[in-house]
Amino acid sequence: MRDLRLWPAYGLLAALAVLPAAGCALDQERISEDSHTTIAKAPQTIEVHNAVGEIEIDAWGQPSVQIDARKRGSSLDDVHAITISVQQTGSTLVVTSHFPAHSANCRVDYTIHAPAAANIDLEQSIGAIESKGFIGNVSESTSTGAVATTMGALGGAQDVKVHVGVGAIGLQIPATSSAAFSASTSVGAIGANFPFTTQRNFVGATGTGSIGKGNAHVDLTIGTGAIGIKRE
């Protein structure tokens, strides 16, 4: 993963260290195994479902999808107990990590390249998510971790949704964006470097803003942590 530190100008939290989940201790991985999958023609939507680890997905100039995964565990048995399925149904490609209950220490880290026009739907329980360069719909969710999203373009009918339970959200958008924004934190602050109306609550905040004609819709929510939006 690249540096997931969020923009300090807005007082954001640094990307959180990934916390251990029940049955998965991330500080104990010693063994790893890599897998590589190529889909010759990218579907309309790419979904990734992962329990523990990191997801990094970048837009590139190829029509294909390249999925590089690294399974980690404290033993070879742990690593072999983890399986990854890659299935395409109609216009959707679904990548899923499967962690057996008996596997004591495990995680999967993904590095994925896909065309910029693909819609992405990334879901993770514990760990960081980073996406860069996409111009379609974006949906990203993690229970514990940081999400760093850099849009390749933002406007038209695009829908961008990011949800974090505990962690931080950083969104970077092009100067030519046209979008309406809503953001909320239960505990934490919201910052933006363009006109943005924020109402501070006792420990949290809500905010709205708009750029251009407000075509695209952006919804950012976090339970505990900070949200920062940076316009280039």
User: Is the predicted pLDDT of residue 7 greater than 80, yes or no?
Assistant: no
Rounded percentage of the chain residues whose pLDDT exceeds 90: 77
pLDDT at 19: 36
pLDDT at 29: 53
Asked whether residue 195 is domain-assigned, the answer is yes
User: 37 Cβ partners below 8 Å, 6+ apart?
Assistant: 66, 67, 69, 86
User: Is the predicted pLDDT of residue 45 greater than 90, yes or no?
Assistant: yes
pLDDT at 207: 94
Asked whether residue 1 is domain-assigned, the answer is no
User: Is the predicted pLDDT of residue 9 greater than 90, yes or no?
Assistant: no
Task: Give DSSP secondary structure letters for 81-122.
Answer: H-EEEEEEETTEEEEEEE--TT--SEEEEEEEEEETT-EEEE
Asked whether residue 79 is domain-assigned, the answer is yes
Reduced to 3 states (helix: H, G, I; strand: E, B; else coil), residue 27 is helix
pTM score of the predicted model: 0.88
User: Is the predicted pLDDT of residue 23 greater than 50, yes or no?
Assistant: no
Asked whether residue 3 is domain-assigned, the answer is no
Please, is 24 exposed, middle or buried when counting C-beta atoms within 10 Å of its C-beta (0-12, 13-18, 19+)?
Answer: buried
Instruction: Kindly state the average pLDDT of the residues 105-125.
Output: 96
pLDDT at 121: 98
What is the token pair recorded at 164? 């974090």
> What distance in Å separates the CA atoms of residue 107 and residue 77, rounded to the nearest whole number?
13
> What distance in Å separates the CA atoms of residue 26 and residue 116, rounded to the nearest whole number?
31
Instruction: Kindly state the average pLDDT of the residues 111-123.
Output: 98
Asked whether residue 150 is domain-assigned, the answer is yes
Q: What share of the chain is helix, strand, coil (3-state, %, to 5)?
A: 5, 60, 35
Asked whether residue 18 is domain-assigned, the answer is no
Which residues form the domain of 130?
A: 8-12+24-231
pLDDT at 100: 81
pLDDT at 83: 95
CA 205 to chain centre: 22
User: Is the predicted pLDDT of residue 206 greater than 70, yes or no?
Assistant: yes
pLDDT at 14: 39
pLDDT at 103: 58
Asked whether residue 183 is domain-assigned, the answer is yes
pLDDT at 57: 98
- Per the prediction, the chain carries an average pLDDT of 88
Asked whether residue 2 is domain-assigned, the answer is no
Instruction: Kindly state the average pLDDT of the residues 143-165.
Output: 97
First-to-final CA distance of the chain: 22
pLDDT digits 0-9 by tens, 69-86: 999 998 888 899 999 999
Number of domains in the chain: 1
